[in-house]
Amino acid sequence: MHSALWVSKTGMAAQDTKMTAISNNLANVNTVGFKRDRVVFEDLFYSIQRQPGAQVDQVNELPSGVQLGSGVRVVGTQKVFTQGNTQNTTQDLDLAVMGQGFFQIENSDGQIMYTRNGQFHINSEGLMVNSQ
């Protein structure tokens, strides 16, 4: 594949991943406790065509050199834990975390898990539970 097409392909693939993350963020805009994802990118290797300070001709030097990038790749995603909107409800057990932190819950296997979803209720056994 021609190198320019390869570089373009890596950029398109990276932007496709970003659009997928944005779509997921939009789909969950009304999900209680949802925190958006941000895609993290990094440059691929650079090919050095001319070293910095290389002679252009008898008199002039190329101060910055010539480096050609070979594209971009997705490193991963990060959760963005900025404070979301809160709203008052009529439910006594609807809670919100203001600032940093999580609710610590225990799943059915006894494993400790963490969530920012603060919609709790009392189940038939008298335990405070969430929807998960």
> 93-113 pLDDT, tens per residue?
999 888 888 999 998 899 999
Query: Looking at the structure, do residues 49 and 8 belong to the same domain, yes or no?
Result: yes
* Beta strand ranges found along the chain (DSSP E): 37-43, 46-50, 54-55, 61-62, 66-69, 72-79, 103-106, 112-115, 120-122, 128-130
User: Which of these three, 59, 82, 105, is where a domain ends?
Assistant: 82
Of the pLDDT bands very low, low, confident and very high (cuts 50, 70, 90), residue 17 is: very high
Query: Looking at the structure, do residues 48 and 89 belong to the same domain, yes or no?
Result: no
Of the pLDDT bands very low, low, confident and very high (cuts 50, 70, 90), residue 44 is: confident
Query: Looking at the structure, do residues 58 and 116 belong to the same domain, yes or no?
Result: no
Q: Which residues contact 92 (CB under 8 A, 6 or more apart)?
A: none
% of the chain surpassing 70 pLDDT? 99
Q: Are 114 and 104 in contact (CB under 8 A)?
A: yes
Cut 0.75: pTM above it? no
Q: Which residues contact 25 (CB under 8 A, 6 or more apart)?
A: 36, 37
Query: Looking at the structure, do residues 52 and 11 belong to the same domain, yes or no?
Result: yes
Amino acid at 64: S
Over residues 60-90, the pLDDT tens digits come to 877 777 778 889 999 999 999 888 888 888 8
Q: Range of 44's domain?
A: 1-82
Query: Looking at the structure, do residues 13 and 25 belong to the same domain, yes or no?
Result: yes
